[in-house]
Chain A
Amino acid sequence: MKIPSFLQIKNLKYEYIRRDEENNVEGITTAVDDVSLDVKEGEFIAVLGHNGSGKSTLAKHINAILFPEEGEVILDGMNTKDEEKLLDIRRTAGMVFQNPDNQIIGQVVDEDVAFGPENMGVPTDEIAQRVEESLKTLGMWEYRNASPNRLSGGQKQRVSIASVIAMHPKCIILDEPTAMLDPRGRYEVIRAARALNEVEHITIILITHYMEEVIHADRVFVMDKGKVKMEGTPREIFSRVEELKEMRLTVPQVTELAWELKKAGLRIPDGILTREELVKEILKLVSSRTGVSSRTGVSS
Protein backbone atom coordinates (compact mmCIF):
# COMPACT_ATOMS: atom_id res chain seq x y z
CA MET A 1 0.00 0.00 0.00
CA LYS A 2 1.31 3.40 -0.90
CA ILE A 3 1.24 5.97 1.90
CA PRO A 4 -0.12 9.26 0.59
CA SER A 5 2.56 11.89 0.88
CA PHE A 6 2.22 14.70 3.38
CA LEU A 7 2.97 17.50 0.99
CA GLN A 8 2.44 17.27 -2.72
CA ILE A 9 3.39 20.03 -5.09
CA LYS A 10 2.25 19.40 -8.64
CA ASN A 11 3.52 21.40 -11.61
CA LEU A 12 3.52 24.61 -9.63
CA LYS A 13 4.01 27.80 -11.57
CA TYR A 14 4.07 31.34 -10.25
CA GLU A 15 4.87 34.60 -11.97
CA TYR A 16 5.58 38.04 -10.61
CA ILE A 17 4.12 40.62 -12.94
CA ARG A 18 5.65 44.08 -12.91
CA ARG A 19 3.35 46.88 -13.96
CA ASP A 20 4.04 50.49 -14.78
CA GLU A 21 1.93 53.40 -13.56
CA GLU A 22 -0.83 52.84 -16.13
CA ASN A 23 -1.11 49.20 -15.10
CA ASN A 24 0.46 47.96 -18.29
CA VAL A 25 2.54 44.86 -17.99
CA GLU A 26 6.19 45.81 -18.01
CA GLY A 27 7.69 42.43 -17.53
CA ILE A 28 7.02 38.99 -16.20
CA THR A 29 9.37 37.09 -13.96
CA THR A 30 8.64 33.43 -13.59
CA ALA A 31 9.65 32.77 -10.01
CA VAL A 32 8.58 29.16 -9.85
CA ASP A 33 8.40 27.21 -13.07
CA ASP A 34 6.76 23.79 -13.24
CA VAL A 35 7.98 22.49 -9.89
CA SER A 36 6.78 19.16 -8.55
CA LEU A 37 7.85 17.60 -5.32
CA ASP A 38 6.69 15.15 -2.70
CA VAL A 39 7.42 15.25 1.00
CA LYS A 40 6.63 12.48 3.47
CA GLU A 41 5.59 13.19 7.04
CA GLY A 42 8.54 13.48 9.42
CA GLU A 43 11.11 14.19 6.75
CA PHE A 44 13.78 16.87 6.98
CA ILE A 45 13.83 18.55 3.59
CA ALA A 46 16.23 21.25 2.49
CA VAL A 47 15.67 23.52 -0.47
CA LEU A 48 18.87 25.08 -1.70
CA GLY A 49 19.20 27.89 -4.12
CA HIS A 50 20.92 31.11 -4.97
CA ASN A 51 19.15 34.46 -4.50
CA GLY A 52 16.28 34.73 -6.94
CA SER A 53 16.07 31.01 -7.55
CA GLY A 54 12.43 30.99 -6.47
CA LYS A 55 12.91 29.04 -3.29
CA SER A 56 11.16 31.57 -1.04
CA THR A 57 8.25 31.88 -3.45
CA LEU A 58 7.93 28.12 -3.36
CA ALA A 59 7.94 28.15 0.44
CA LYS A 60 5.17 30.73 0.61
CA HIS A 61 2.93 28.46 -1.43
CA ILE A 62 3.09 25.69 1.13
CA ASN A 63 1.12 27.51 3.81
CA ALA A 64 -1.12 29.45 1.47
CA ILE A 65 0.46 32.88 1.64
CA LEU A 66 0.76 32.76 -2.14
CA PHE A 67 -1.55 30.83 -4.39
CA PRO A 68 -0.42 28.89 -7.45
CA GLU A 69 -1.17 30.27 -10.89
CA GLU A 70 -0.85 26.85 -12.41
CA GLY A 71 -0.66 23.49 -10.75
CA GLU A 72 -1.60 22.81 -7.16
CA VAL A 73 -0.27 22.38 -3.65
CA ILE A 74 -1.79 19.73 -1.42
CA LEU A 75 -0.81 19.78 2.23
CA ASP A 76 -1.98 16.95 4.46
CA GLY A 77 -4.90 16.30 2.13
CA MET A 78 -5.92 19.97 1.86
CA ASN A 79 -5.66 21.93 -1.35
CA THR A 80 -4.36 25.44 -0.71
CA LYS A 81 -6.90 26.79 -3.18
CA ASP A 82 -9.69 25.78 -0.82
CA GLU A 83 -10.42 28.99 1.06
CA GLU A 84 -12.37 27.30 3.82
CA LYS A 85 -9.30 25.30 4.72
CA LEU A 86 -7.04 28.37 4.88
CA LEU A 87 -6.68 28.51 8.66
CA ASP A 88 -6.29 24.73 8.92
CA ILE A 89 -3.50 24.84 6.37
CA ARG A 90 -1.71 27.60 8.18
CA ARG A 91 -1.92 25.79 11.48
CA THR A 92 -0.66 22.57 9.91
CA ALA A 93 2.34 24.27 8.34
CA GLY A 94 3.91 27.01 10.42
CA MET A 95 6.40 29.39 8.91
CA VAL A 96 9.52 31.11 10.22
CA PHE A 97 10.75 34.03 8.15
CA GLN A 98 14.13 35.57 7.48
CA ASN A 99 14.07 38.80 9.45
CA PRO A 100 13.71 38.12 13.16
CA ASP A 101 12.55 41.66 13.93
CA ASN A 102 9.72 41.67 11.44
CA GLN A 103 7.91 38.59 12.64
CA ILE A 104 7.73 39.08 16.39
CA ILE A 105 4.39 40.67 17.17
CA GLY A 106 4.35 40.65 20.98
CA GLN A 107 6.14 43.18 23.10
CA VAL A 108 7.15 40.45 25.50
CA VAL A 109 8.46 37.01 24.52
CA ASP A 110 5.64 34.97 26.05
CA GLU A 111 2.98 37.22 24.51
CA ASP A 112 4.47 36.63 21.11
CA VAL A 113 4.39 32.87 21.56
CA ALA A 114 0.76 33.17 22.65
CA PHE A 115 -0.22 35.12 19.53
CA GLY A 116 -0.77 32.07 17.30
CA PRO A 117 -2.84 30.07 19.79
CA GLU A 118 -4.86 33.21 20.57
CA ASN A 119 -5.74 33.55 16.92
CA MET A 120 -6.75 29.91 16.77
CA GLY A 121 -9.14 30.39 19.68
CA VAL A 122 -7.34 28.05 22.07
CA PRO A 123 -8.77 28.33 25.63
CA THR A 124 -6.77 30.51 28.03
CA ASP A 125 -5.46 27.72 30.32
CA GLU A 126 -4.23 25.73 27.37
CA ILE A 127 -2.46 28.76 25.87
CA ALA A 128 -0.42 29.11 29.06
CA GLN A 129 0.48 25.42 28.83
CA ARG A 130 1.47 25.66 25.19
CA VAL A 131 3.56 28.78 25.80
CA GLU A 132 5.48 27.09 28.59
CA GLU A 133 5.97 23.86 26.67
CA SER A 134 7.18 25.48 23.46
CA LEU A 135 9.46 28.00 25.14
CA LYS A 136 11.01 25.17 27.15
CA THR A 137 11.49 23.08 24.01
CA LEU A 138 13.47 25.92 22.46
CA GLY A 139 15.33 26.71 25.69
CA MET A 140 13.89 30.20 25.87
CA TRP A 141 11.72 29.78 28.98
CA GLU A 142 13.94 31.95 31.15
CA TYR A 143 13.49 34.83 28.73
CA ARG A 144 9.69 34.69 28.82
CA ASN A 145 9.35 38.15 30.39
CA ALA A 146 12.04 39.81 28.29
CA SER A 147 11.44 42.31 25.54
CA PRO A 148 12.29 40.82 22.11
CA ASN A 149 14.43 43.90 21.47
CA ARG A 150 16.95 42.74 24.03
CA LEU A 151 17.53 39.29 22.58
CA SER A 152 20.24 38.29 20.12
CA GLY A 153 19.34 37.35 16.56
CA GLY A 154 19.60 33.63 17.25
CA GLN A 155 17.44 33.96 20.34
CA LYS A 156 14.85 35.95 18.40
CA GLN A 157 14.67 33.25 15.76
CA ARG A 158 14.26 30.63 18.47
CA VAL A 159 11.37 32.66 19.86
CA SER A 160 9.88 32.72 16.36
CA ILE A 161 10.21 28.96 16.14
CA ALA A 162 8.66 28.59 19.60
CA SER A 163 5.78 30.79 18.43
CA VAL A 164 5.18 28.41 15.55
CA ILE A 165 5.52 25.31 17.76
CA ALA A 166 2.86 26.70 20.10
CA MET A 167 0.37 26.26 17.26
CA HIS A 168 1.17 22.50 17.24
CA PRO A 169 1.96 22.29 13.53
CA LYS A 170 2.82 19.07 11.74
CA CYS A 171 5.30 20.87 9.57
CA ILE A 172 7.54 23.90 9.92
CA ILE A 173 8.82 25.86 6.95
CA LEU A 174 11.96 27.81 7.72
CA ASP A 175 12.45 30.45 5.06
CA GLU A 176 16.14 31.40 5.26
CA PRO A 177 15.96 31.62 9.04
CA THR A 178 19.70 32.13 9.40
CA ALA A 179 20.41 34.63 6.64
CA MET A 180 20.66 37.56 9.05
CA LEU A 181 22.42 35.77 11.89
CA ASP A 182 25.99 35.38 13.02
CA PRO A 183 27.55 31.87 12.98
CA ARG A 184 26.58 31.23 16.59
CA GLY A 185 22.98 32.20 15.95
CA ARG A 186 22.93 30.03 12.87
CA TYR A 187 24.13 27.06 14.84
CA GLU A 188 21.45 27.63 17.51
CA VAL A 189 18.65 27.77 14.97
CA ILE A 190 19.72 24.78 12.92
CA ARG A 191 20.24 22.69 16.02
CA ALA A 192 16.74 23.62 17.20
CA ALA A 193 15.25 22.62 13.85
CA ARG A 194 17.04 19.28 13.88
CA ALA A 195 15.94 18.56 17.43
CA LEU A 196 12.32 19.24 16.54
CA ASN A 197 12.60 16.89 13.61
CA GLU A 198 14.30 14.08 15.52
CA VAL A 199 12.44 14.32 18.83
CA GLU A 200 9.01 15.63 17.91
CA HIS A 201 8.99 14.17 14.37
CA ILE A 202 7.86 17.46 12.90
CA THR A 203 8.37 17.73 9.17
CA ILE A 204 10.96 20.40 8.49
CA ILE A 205 11.32 22.26 5.23
CA LEU A 206 14.45 24.35 5.40
CA ILE A 207 15.00 26.97 2.73
CA THR A 208 18.56 28.20 2.67
CA HIS A 209 21.58 29.12 0.63
CA TYR A 210 24.10 27.94 3.19
CA MET A 211 25.33 24.52 2.13
CA GLU A 212 26.58 23.61 5.60
CA GLU A 213 23.01 23.65 6.89
CA VAL A 214 21.70 20.97 4.57
CA ILE A 215 24.18 18.25 5.55
CA HIS A 216 21.75 16.74 8.03
CA ALA A 217 18.70 16.85 5.79
CA ASP A 218 17.06 13.65 4.59
CA ARG A 219 16.67 15.02 1.11
CA VAL A 220 17.87 18.12 -0.67
CA PHE A 221 16.29 19.95 -3.58
CA VAL A 222 18.45 22.39 -5.47
CA MET A 223 16.61 25.18 -7.25
CA ASP A 224 17.84 27.50 -9.96
CA LYS A 225 15.85 29.96 -12.04
CA GLY A 226 12.55 28.66 -10.73
CA LYS A 227 13.19 25.02 -11.50
CA VAL A 228 14.29 22.09 -9.40
CA LYS A 229 17.65 21.16 -10.90
CA MET A 230 18.82 18.44 -8.53
CA GLU A 231 17.23 16.18 -5.99
CA GLY A 232 18.76 13.62 -3.66
CA THR A 233 20.47 12.96 -0.37
CA PRO A 234 23.07 15.51 0.73
CA ARG A 235 25.82 13.04 -0.23
CA GLU A 236 24.45 12.63 -3.74
CA ILE A 237 24.10 16.39 -4.17
CA PHE A 238 27.56 17.18 -2.87
CA SER A 239 29.24 14.72 -5.17
CA ARG A 240 28.17 16.93 -8.07
CA VAL A 241 30.44 19.82 -7.18
CA GLU A 242 30.82 21.17 -10.68
CA GLU A 243 27.09 21.44 -11.33
CA LEU A 244 26.64 23.22 -8.00
CA LYS A 245 29.33 25.68 -8.90
CA GLU A 246 27.59 26.44 -12.15
CA MET A 247 24.54 27.45 -10.13
CA ARG A 248 26.72 29.83 -8.10
CA LEU A 249 26.41 27.70 -4.98
CA THR A 250 29.42 27.12 -2.81
CA VAL A 251 29.93 23.67 -1.40
CA PRO A 252 31.15 23.21 2.20
CA GLN A 253 34.88 23.74 2.57
CA VAL A 254 35.63 20.10 3.37
CA THR A 255 33.68 18.87 0.39
CA GLU A 256 35.50 21.26 -1.88
CA LEU A 257 38.88 20.26 -0.48
CA ALA A 258 38.06 16.58 -1.00
CA TRP A 259 36.93 17.34 -4.53
CA GLU A 260 40.12 19.25 -5.32
CA LEU A 261 42.23 16.43 -3.89
CA LYS A 262 40.37 13.97 -6.06
CA LYS A 263 40.91 16.16 -9.10
CA ALA A 264 44.61 16.20 -8.23
CA GLY A 265 44.63 12.42 -8.53
CA LEU A 266 44.03 11.08 -5.00
CA ARG A 267 41.59 8.20 -4.60
CA ILE A 268 38.97 9.90 -2.46
CA PRO A 269 35.26 9.13 -2.89
CA ASP A 270 32.70 11.76 -3.90
CA GLY A 271 30.40 13.56 -1.51
CA ILE A 272 32.54 14.00 1.59
CA LEU A 273 30.43 15.93 4.11
CA THR A 274 32.40 16.24 7.32
CA ARG A 275 35.94 16.79 8.43
CA GLU A 276 36.00 13.41 10.21
CA GLU A 277 35.13 11.59 6.99
CA LEU A 278 37.91 13.32 5.08
CA VAL A 279 40.45 12.57 7.80
CA LYS A 280 39.44 8.90 7.71
CA GLU A 281 39.71 8.72 3.94
CA ILE A 282 43.12 10.38 3.89
CA LEU A 283 44.43 8.11 6.62
CA LYS A 284 43.15 5.11 4.71
CA LEU A 285 45.02 6.36 1.67
CA VAL A 286 48.19 6.98 3.64
CA SER A 287 48.10 3.56 5.28
CA SER A 288 47.50 1.80 1.97
CA ARG A 289 50.53 3.53 0.52
CA THR A 290 53.00 3.27 3.37
CA GLY A 291 51.59 0.29 5.22
CA VAL A 292 51.35 2.26 8.46
CA SER A 293 48.35 1.35 10.56
CA SER A 294 45.66 3.97 10.47
CA ARG A 295 44.74 3.27 14.07
CA THR A 296 47.01 6.01 15.33
CA GLY A 297 45.77 9.52 15.91
CA VAL A 298 42.41 9.67 14.27
CA SER A 299 41.05 12.91 15.60
CA SER A 300 39.77 16.04 14.09
Chain B
Amino acid sequence: MIRDITLGQYYQADSVIHRLDPRTKLVGTMVYLVSLFIFTGPWVFVTAASFLLLCVFLSRVPFSYMLKGLKPILFILMFTLVINMLFTKGTVLFSWWKFTITEEGLKQAGAMGFRLVLLILGSNLMTLTTTPTRLTNAMEHLMRPLKLIRVPVHEIAMMMSIALRFIPILLEETDRIMKAQLARGADFESGNLIKKTKSLVPVLIPLFISAFRRANDLAMAMEARCYHGGKGRTQYKPLKYKGRDFVAYFMVIIYLAGVILIGKFL
Protein backbone atom coordinates (compact mmCIF):
# COMPACT_ATOMS: atom_id res chain seq x y z
CA MET B 1 0.00 0.00 0.00
CA ILE B 2 1.20 3.45 -0.87
CA ARG B 3 0.66 4.62 2.72
CA ASP B 4 3.38 2.31 3.89
CA ILE B 5 6.21 3.93 2.01
CA THR B 6 8.86 5.15 4.34
CA LEU B 7 10.90 8.09 3.32
CA GLY B 8 14.59 7.98 3.79
CA GLN B 9 14.42 4.14 3.94
CA TYR B 10 14.80 3.82 7.71
CA TYR B 11 15.81 0.33 8.81
CA GLN B 12 14.42 -0.49 12.22
CA ALA B 13 16.99 -2.10 14.51
CA ASP B 14 18.44 -1.59 17.94
CA SER B 15 22.13 -0.84 17.62
CA VAL B 16 24.79 1.55 18.83
CA ILE B 17 24.68 3.37 15.52
CA HIS B 18 20.90 3.74 15.70
CA ARG B 19 21.12 5.18 19.18
CA LEU B 20 23.80 7.73 18.36
CA ASP B 21 22.74 11.34 18.39
CA PRO B 22 21.66 12.30 14.86
CA ARG B 23 24.05 15.24 14.95
CA THR B 24 26.97 12.89 15.54
CA LYS B 25 25.88 10.79 12.57
CA LEU B 26 25.39 13.81 10.36
CA VAL B 27 28.78 15.32 11.17
CA GLY B 28 30.45 11.91 10.97
CA THR B 29 28.97 11.27 7.54
CA MET B 30 30.08 14.69 6.30
CA VAL B 31 33.62 14.06 7.51
CA TYR B 32 33.57 10.64 5.89
CA LEU B 33 32.41 12.02 2.54
CA VAL B 34 35.08 14.70 2.60
CA SER B 35 37.72 12.14 3.53
CA LEU B 36 36.94 10.24 0.34
CA PHE B 37 37.88 13.21 -1.76
CA ILE B 38 41.01 14.65 -0.19
CA PHE B 39 43.34 11.77 -1.09
CA THR B 40 43.51 9.08 -3.70
CA GLY B 41 45.40 5.86 -3.31
CA PRO B 42 44.68 2.21 -2.76
CA TRP B 43 45.45 2.35 0.97
CA VAL B 44 43.19 5.30 1.54
CA PHE B 45 40.31 3.38 0.00
CA VAL B 46 41.13 0.29 2.03
CA THR B 47 41.02 2.38 5.21
CA ALA B 48 37.76 4.06 4.20
CA ALA B 49 36.16 0.77 3.21
CA SER B 50 37.14 -0.95 6.45
CA PHE B 51 35.87 1.96 8.52
CA LEU B 52 32.56 1.75 6.71
CA LEU B 53 32.43 -2.03 7.12
CA LEU B 54 32.98 -1.61 10.85
CA CYS B 55 30.10 0.89 11.03
CA VAL B 56 27.80 -1.34 8.99
CA PHE B 57 28.67 -4.24 11.26
CA LEU B 58 27.90 -2.17 14.35
CA SER B 59 24.62 -0.90 12.85
CA ARG B 60 23.25 -4.44 12.34
CA VAL B 61 21.85 -3.44 8.97
CA PRO B 62 22.20 -6.54 6.76
CA PHE B 63 24.86 -6.10 4.14
CA SER B 64 22.56 -7.18 1.33
CA TYR B 65 20.25 -4.35 2.37
CA MET B 66 23.11 -1.89 2.04
CA LEU B 67 23.95 -3.16 -1.44
CA LYS B 68 20.38 -2.60 -2.56
CA GLY B 69 21.03 1.09 -2.12
CA LEU B 70 23.57 0.93 -4.93
CA LYS B 71 21.01 -0.08 -7.53
CA PRO B 72 19.86 3.43 -8.47
CA ILE B 73 23.42 4.56 -9.17
CA LEU B 74 24.43 1.49 -11.15
CA PHE B 75 24.04 3.32 -14.45
CA ILE B 76 26.02 6.37 -13.35
CA LEU B 77 28.68 4.07 -11.94
CA MET B 78 29.08 2.19 -15.21
CA PHE B 79 29.06 5.41 -17.17
CA THR B 80 31.83 6.97 -15.04
CA LEU B 81 33.91 3.82 -15.23
CA VAL B 82 33.73 3.63 -19.02
CA ILE B 83 34.32 7.33 -19.58
CA ASN B 84 37.30 7.36 -17.24
CA MET B 85 38.78 4.25 -18.81
CA LEU B 86 38.48 5.46 -22.38
CA PHE B 87 39.27 9.13 -22.18
CA THR B 88 42.23 9.39 -19.87
CA LYS B 89 45.53 9.94 -21.68
CA GLY B 90 48.72 8.17 -20.68
CA THR B 91 50.64 4.96 -21.24
CA VAL B 92 48.70 2.82 -23.65
CA LEU B 93 48.02 -0.67 -22.39
CA PHE B 94 45.61 -1.90 -24.98
CA SER B 95 44.23 -0.46 -28.19
CA TRP B 96 41.49 -1.55 -30.55
CA TRP B 97 40.09 0.47 -33.44
CA LYS B 98 39.42 3.93 -31.94
CA PHE B 99 39.43 2.80 -28.31
CA THR B 100 42.54 2.93 -26.20
CA ILE B 101 42.82 1.92 -22.59
CA THR B 102 45.62 3.47 -20.59
CA GLU B 103 47.15 2.61 -17.26
CA GLU B 104 46.17 5.99 -15.83
CA GLY B 105 42.66 5.48 -17.16
CA LEU B 106 42.26 2.23 -15.28
CA LYS B 107 43.56 3.79 -12.09
CA GLN B 108 41.31 6.78 -12.46
CA ALA B 109 38.27 4.60 -13.16
CA GLY B 110 39.01 2.43 -10.16
CA ALA B 111 39.38 5.44 -7.89
CA MET B 112 36.16 7.04 -9.12
CA GLY B 113 34.27 3.77 -8.83
CA PHE B 114 35.41 3.22 -5.26
CA ARG B 115 34.64 6.77 -4.36
CA LEU B 116 31.11 6.62 -5.71
CA VAL B 117 30.30 3.31 -4.06
CA LEU B 118 31.66 4.39 -0.68
CA LEU B 119 29.95 7.74 -1.00
CA ILE B 120 26.55 6.17 -1.51
CA LEU B 121 27.03 3.44 1.06
CA GLY B 122 28.25 5.97 3.62
CA SER B 123 25.32 8.31 3.25
CA ASN B 124 22.89 5.38 3.03
CA LEU B 125 24.11 4.10 6.35
CA MET B 126 23.10 7.39 7.91
CA THR B 127 19.60 7.44 6.41
CA LEU B 128 19.10 3.76 7.20
CA THR B 129 19.84 4.27 10.88
CA THR B 130 18.22 7.68 11.46
CA THR B 131 14.53 8.57 11.15
CA PRO B 132 13.79 11.62 8.98
CA THR B 133 12.41 13.39 12.04
CA ARG B 134 15.64 13.03 13.96
CA LEU B 135 17.60 14.05 10.91
CA THR B 136 15.56 17.23 10.52
CA ASN B 137 16.04 17.87 14.20
CA ALA B 138 19.81 17.45 13.85
CA MET B 139 19.92 19.83 10.90
CA GLU B 140 18.02 22.44 12.86
CA HIS B 141 20.54 22.17 15.68
CA LEU B 142 23.59 22.23 13.46
CA MET B 143 22.35 25.18 11.46
CA ARG B 144 21.66 27.26 14.57
CA PRO B 145 24.73 29.48 14.14
CA LEU B 146 23.20 30.61 10.83
CA LYS B 147 20.50 32.38 12.83
CA LEU B 148 23.06 35.11 13.42
CA ILE B 149 22.95 35.95 9.72
CA ARG B 150 19.15 35.82 9.82
CA VAL B 151 18.62 32.46 8.19
CA PRO B 152 15.16 31.28 9.36
CA VAL B 153 16.51 27.98 10.69
CA HIS B 154 13.46 26.96 12.70
CA GLU B 155 11.11 27.70 9.84
CA ILE B 156 13.18 25.70 7.36
CA ALA B 157 13.23 22.73 9.72
CA MET B 158 9.47 23.02 10.27
CA MET B 159 8.86 23.10 6.53
CA MET B 160 11.01 20.05 6.02
CA SER B 161 9.22 18.05 8.66
CA ILE B 162 5.80 19.06 7.34
CA ALA B 163 6.88 18.10 3.83
CA LEU B 164 7.99 14.72 5.12
CA ARG B 165 4.66 14.25 6.84
CA PHE B 166 2.61 15.15 3.77
CA ILE B 167 4.49 13.36 1.00
CA PRO B 168 2.80 10.00 1.64
CA ILE B 169 -0.60 11.71 1.90
CA LEU B 170 -0.14 13.56 -1.37
CA LEU B 171 1.11 10.39 -3.07
CA GLU B 172 -2.03 8.64 -2.01
CA GLU B 173 -4.07 11.54 -3.27
CA THR B 174 -2.30 11.39 -6.64
CA ASP B 175 -3.16 7.74 -6.84
CA ARG B 176 -6.79 8.48 -6.08
CA ILE B 177 -7.03 11.30 -8.63
CA MET B 178 -5.40 9.16 -11.30
CA LYS B 179 -7.91 6.41 -10.68
CA ALA B 180 -10.76 8.90 -10.79
CA GLN B 181 -9.52 10.26 -14.12
CA LEU B 182 -9.00 6.75 -15.49
CA ALA B 183 -12.59 5.97 -14.58
CA ARG B 184 -13.58 8.98 -16.70
CA GLY B 185 -11.67 7.59 -19.64
CA ALA B 186 -8.34 9.38 -19.23
CA ASP B 187 -5.39 7.73 -20.95
CA PHE B 188 -2.00 8.04 -19.28
CA GLU B 189 -0.23 5.29 -21.19
CA SER B 190 -0.33 5.84 -24.94
CA GLY B 191 1.27 8.51 -27.13
CA ASN B 192 4.68 10.06 -27.21
CA LEU B 193 6.38 11.88 -24.37
CA ILE B 194 4.67 15.19 -25.03
CA LYS B 195 1.26 13.61 -25.16
CA LYS B 196 1.94 11.66 -21.99
CA THR B 197 3.05 14.80 -20.19
CA LYS B 198 -0.04 16.64 -21.36
CA SER B 199 -2.26 13.85 -20.08
CA LEU B 200 -0.91 14.51 -16.59
CA VAL B 201 -2.41 18.00 -16.45
CA PRO B 202 -5.84 16.73 -15.31
CA VAL B 203 -4.04 15.01 -12.45
CA LEU B 204 -1.81 17.87 -11.43
CA ILE B 205 -4.48 20.57 -11.27
CA PRO B 206 -6.73 18.79 -8.74
CA LEU B 207 -3.64 17.73 -6.84
CA PHE B 208 -2.46 21.33 -6.52
CA ILE B 209 -5.87 22.57 -5.48
CA SER B 210 -6.09 19.90 -2.83
CA ALA B 211 -2.55 20.60 -1.63
CA PHE B 212 -3.38 24.29 -1.15
CA ARG B 213 -6.56 23.39 0.69
CA ARG B 214 -4.61 21.10 2.96
CA ALA B 215 -2.01 23.78 3.55
CA ASN B 216 -4.74 26.20 4.56
CA ASP B 217 -6.31 23.69 6.96
CA LEU B 218 -2.96 22.79 8.44
CA ALA B 219 -2.00 26.40 9.03
CA MET B 220 -5.27 26.93 10.87
CA ALA B 221 -4.75 23.79 12.95
CA MET B 222 -1.24 24.92 13.85
CA GLU B 223 -2.45 28.36 14.89
CA ALA B 224 -5.23 26.81 16.93
CA ARG B 225 -2.53 24.97 18.83
CA CYS B 226 -0.69 28.15 19.73
CA TYR B 227 1.99 27.94 17.06
CA HIS B 228 3.69 31.30 16.75
CA GLY B 229 7.09 30.53 15.27
CA GLY B 230 10.19 29.30 17.01
CA LYS B 231 10.15 31.95 19.72
CA GLY B 232 9.75 30.62 23.24
CA ARG B 233 9.28 27.10 21.99
CA THR B 234 10.44 24.20 24.10
CA GLN B 235 11.26 20.72 22.87
CA TYR B 236 9.69 17.41 23.67
CA LYS B 237 12.74 15.33 22.86
CA PRO B 238 15.71 17.68 22.95
CA LEU B 239 18.94 16.30 21.50
CA LYS B 240 21.50 15.47 24.14
CA TYR B 241 25.01 14.16 23.59
CA LYS B 242 25.79 11.04 25.55
CA GLY B 243 29.02 9.16 26.28
CA ARG B 244 28.77 7.10 23.10
CA ASP B 245 28.61 10.25 21.01
CA PHE B 246 31.96 11.43 22.30
CA VAL B 247 33.43 8.01 21.62
CA ALA B 248 32.01 8.18 18.09
CA TYR B 249 33.44 11.66 17.51
CA PHE B 250 36.80 10.42 18.80
CA MET B 251 36.72 7.50 16.37
CA VAL B 252 35.85 9.76 13.47
CA ILE B 253 38.79 12.00 14.35
CA ILE B 254 41.15 9.01 14.53
CA TYR B 255 39.84 7.81 11.20
CA LEU B 256 40.37 11.20 9.60
CA ALA B 257 43.89 11.45 11.00
CA GLY B 258 44.57 7.94 9.70
CA VAL B 259 43.37 8.83 6.22
CA ILE B 260 45.50 11.98 6.16
CA LEU B 261 48.63 10.13 7.34
CA ILE B 262 48.15 7.26 4.92
CA GLY B 263 47.35 9.60 2.06
CA LYS B 264 50.47 11.68 2.70
CA PHE B 265 53.05 9.01 3.40
CA LEU B 266 51.98 5.87 1.56
Contacts and interface: CB of A to CB of B under 8 A. Distances in A.
Nearest to A106: B165
A157 interface: no
B165 A118 contact: no
B186 interface: no
Interface in B204-224: 214, 217-218, 220-224
B221 A97 contact: yes
A104 interface: yes
A150 interface: yes
Given A102-B214, A103-B217, A122 B234 contact: yes
Contacts of B226: 87, 90-91, 116, 119-120, 167
Nearest to A119: B226
Contacts of B142: none
A95 B224 contact: yes
A90 B223 contact: yes
A225 to B, nearest CB: 24
A118 B236 contact: yes
Given A87-B228, A97-B220, A103-B217, A119 B3 contact: no
Interface residues of A, number: 40
A128 interface: yes
B217 A117 contact: no
The B interface, classified by DSSP as helix, strand, loop or mixed, is helix
Contact of B217 (A99, A114, A150): A99
B238 interface: yes
Contacts of A91: 226
Contacts of A104: 165
Contact of B235 (A60, A103, A110, A124): A124
5 contacts: A108-B133, A111-B236, A116-B225, A149-B168, A149-B169
Contacts of A150: 3-4
Interface of A: 60, 63, 65, 87, 90-91, 94-95, 97, 99, 101-108, 110-111, 114-124, 127-128, 131, 148-150, 163-164, 167
Interface residues of B, number: 30
Given A101-B169, A102-B218, A121 B232 contact: yes
B162 A124 contact: no
Interface of B: 3-4, 131-133, 161-162, 164-165, 168-169, 214, 217-218, 220-228, 232-238
Given A63-B224, A65-B223, A149-B168, A105 B236 contact: no
Smallest CB-CB A-B distances: 8 pairs: A114-B236, A103-B221, A102-B217, A119-B226, A116-B225, A95-B224, A121-B232, A127-B236
Contact of B236 (A65, A101, A128): A128
Q: Find the residue from B165, B218, B224, B233 having the highest chain A CB count within 10 A.
A: B224
B133 A111 contact: yes
A130 to B, nearest CB: 9
A63 B162 CA distance: 24
Contacts of B217: 97, 99, 102-103
Given A87-B228, A107-B164, A121 B233 contact: yes
Given A115-B222, A117-B236, A124-B238, 17 more contacts: A65-B220, A94-B225, A97-B221, A99-B217, A101-B214, A102-B214, A105-B222, A107-B133, A107-B161, A111-B236, A115-B225, A119-B227, A122-B234, A127-B236, A150-B4, A163-B225, A167-B225
Given A107-B161, A107-B165, A167-B225, A118 B233 contact: yes
B187 to A, nearest CB: 30
A60 B219 CA distance: 13
A122 B234 CA distance: 6
Q: Find the residue from B132, B217, B221, B238 having the highest chain A CB count within 10 A.
A: B221
Nearest to B221: A103
